[in-house]
Structure 1
Amino acid sequence: MSLEAIADHYDLYLGESEDVAPVGVLRILDFQPDEADFVTFASLGLSAAKITAVFPQEIVCSVVDGQDGAAEHLVRIAVELVLQQGRGLVNEDVIPNDGPLLAGTEIHGVLVASHPSLGDSFNVVFAEDGVTVVAELMTMIPITANEVALARREGVQTLIALLDVADVNLLDVTRDSVV
């Protein structure tokens, strides 16, 4: 029932999906809605895995149309990392990388936060009672090396505040840094 509720939630916000290569028994879904200017990849089944987290989790990443490989790659490596460590992601956390996560870009990490293009109601899947949390959707926003450094130096809230006022498309992995 839980996976069905998550799949229905995805369908409501993102439309129909196609399965891409799984990570073990977990599904990776590809959403390419006609009416949106972004594509999304998301896990389905991570919420059933035995990991340490406040609530069961699924991982989501959206990018501008045409950058599909970036979103799939980020979801895939995040799912693998969570399964290896046995620990879920934490909201408003930065996951840095020593080098570019995506070849040919300045993306050196991700910010786990609310989805930048969907309302807050997207972030949590509730059971029919409207109270019980079925899964928390952990959205990964690609960030640059300078943005990672700012979060480390001045805190994640400083980075989030800067991203909130910046006039950039956070879903574009080729964007310039806001720092």
Structure 2
Amino acid sequence: MRGDKRGFATGIHHHPEWELVSAATTGLRFQKFGDGLPQEFVCSAVPEQSHEAGYLVHVVAESCIRRERGLAYGSGYLNDGPLIPETEIVGALAMPHPLAEQGFDVLRDADGEATLKFMTLMPVTEDEFRFIQAEGPQEMVATWSREDVDVFDFYRDSAV
């Protein structure tokens, strides 16, 4: 990375109600990603997979810093091979968090102006990434739901 880029950190947070952990960036919002809202990334996983979630968030954040471009919903990141050993996960889909209420992904100031966007990164397999490119992210989410896929498990099989 160039010397004019600021760093970021990744923290692990345990959800008080669900059996999930979330890895979230902090400091990514200070990067220059264009005209959109500043972004932070989050990836949720089953509790014993906090390192996997943290690694996915870190890899995607570093990629965005290098490209000087953030993510949009429905876009994602594709690696050349599995990101996590012994998994099929090769990338991520950017979307609102599937368990959060609508509007949770946007932080607003006291005047109600949007100031920050939390981009959820859903781990995807190569087949799922290709399916998203062909059919769209909504169809992938519908398939995960229809197939009762635990999308928070990095060691799951591909849904397609």
Give deviations 1:50-100, integer Å, cap 9, x for gaps: 222521111111111100111110111111111111101111113222211
Shift in CA distance, 34/98, structure 1 to aligned 2, threshold 3 Å = same
Aligned to 1:97: 79
What are the ranges of 5 or more consecutive residues in structure 1 without an aligned counterpart? 1-22
State TM-score, norm by structure 2.
0.88
Q: Choose between structure 1 and 2: higher helix proportion.
A: 1
TM norm structure 1: 0.79
Task: Tell me, in whole angstroms, the C-alpha distance in 2 between the residues paired with 1:24 and 1:57.
Answer: 14
Letter in 1 for 2:66: Q
After TM superposition, where is structure 1 displaced by more than 4 Å over at least 4 residues in a row?
none
| Aligned match of 1:35 | 17
Q: CA deviation at 1:101?
A: 1.3
How big is each residue's C-alpha offset from its partner over 1:90-118, in whole Å with a ceiling of 9 and x where there is no partner?
11113222211111101121111111222
Q: CA RMSD in A?
A: 1.8
d(CA) in 2 for partners of 1:53 and 1:73? 27
Relative distance call for 1:143 and 1:136 in structure 2 (3 A) is same
Query: Identity, % of aligned pairs?
Result: 34
Candidates 132, 140, 150, aligned match of 1:169: 150
Contact 1:53 1:88 in 2 (8 A): no
Q: Which runs of 5+ in 2 are unaligned?
A: none
- Aligned-residue offset at 1:124: 0.8
Alpha-carbon displacement from aligned partner over 1:19-51 (angstroms, at most 9, x marks no partner):
xxxx96322221023432010111111112222
**More displaced, 46-55 or 67-76?**
46-55
Matched, 1:152 2:133: yes
